Amino acid sequence: MSLSVLVVDDEKSLTDLITESLKSFNVFKTVIPAYDGIDAMRKLTNQSFDIVILDLAMPKKDGMEVLSYISDEDLCHSKVIIISGSLTADVIGEARNHTNHFLAKPFKIEDLKMKIGQVIKEIKAAA
């Protein structure tokens, strides 16, 4: 199974670290970074992604706006992992319509790897 991932976070160093780490897993066909919500929406329009790793707090368009865009544009086949430094009950409740996968910042790459493993199992089970 060859999967594609979009990594969306306005913290360029974190986005680049996640992108390079995912490339080293040798599981993904494509790992593409996006540094804000508008960039993410543009990339989601032009390419299909199996997994979207998405920060919530970003300039231009925030993560919730990107989540709404994914739903509105019928891109629901993408599994979304929310990464955020402010995962409150309200935020999780609002995002639950779009995803069940959350990871609080700061996190270790190993934590992300485990979360991605869970998502890959879901994708395989649905195939």
Rounded CA separation 24/102 (Å): 22
pLDDT score at 76: 62
> Residue 97 contacts by C-beta under 8 Å, 6 or more apart in sequence?
71
Give the CA angle between residues 106, 109, 112 to the nearest 5°.
85
pLDDT score at 59: 86
Ordered mean pLDDT values, 10 residues apiece, the chain (127 residues):
92 96 91 97 94 93 92 78 83 76 93 94 89
Q: Are strands 51-55 and 28-34 parallel, antiparallel or unpaired?
A: unpaired
3-state SS, residue 30: strand
pLDDT score at 94: 73
Nearest residue to 60 (alpha-carbon basis) of 86, 27, 38, 30:
38
pLDDT score at 1: 65
Rounded CA separation 88/37 (Å): 21
Q: What are the extents of the domains in the chain?
A: 3-126
pLDDT score at 72: 80
pLDDT score at 35: 97
Rounded CA separation 81/56 (Å): 10
Q: At the top level of CATH, which class does the domain 3-126 belong to?
A: alpha beta
pLDDT score at 85: 84
